[in-house]
Amino acid sequence: MSFEGYVSYNIVLLFRKRYLKRYKDGYDDPERKLLSVEEISRLLNSILDPRDKAIAVLLAKTGIRRGELLRLDVEDINWAEYFIMLKPTPKRSNRTVFF
């Protein structure tokens, strides 16, 4: 817009200064942290409800995402061969998860 003469100054600079500053100059973005075996064990042992514990163990052991867990049906679990067939998602190419 400033190149075409509609405005006398570049408005992107003000936007960048206000909204994008946190991405520069030492912004401490919290990094993802992998839990150790001991930390996972303490977490799982602190859960009292069997349903919640089963969900946490499934997430920890298989590495499936929360959304994939929510879309699971009982028919997706193969109890004889110990695997789960996940629903198709754009971020996962291998839909078979073993437990």
Judged by DSSP in three states, 94 sits in: coil
Q: Which of the two residues, 26 and 47, has the higher pLDDT score?
A: 47
- Mean pLDDT of all residues belonging to the chain: 83
Domain assignment present for residue 2? The answer is: no
The pLDDT of residue 19 is 66
Mean pLDDT of 76-92: 91
Neighbours of 47 (CB within 10 A): 14
Residue 73 in domain: yes
Strand partners of residue 84: 77, 97
Token pair, residue 85, equals 């067939």
Tell me if the pTM is above 0.85: no
Residues sharing a CB contact under 8 Å with residue 76, sequence separation 6 or more, in sequence order? 84, 85, 86, 87
Range of the domain at 75: 11-98
Count of structural domains, the chain: 1
1 in a structural domain: no
**Over residues 29-51, mean pLDDT:** 88
Give the C-alpha separation, 96 to 56, whole Å.
19
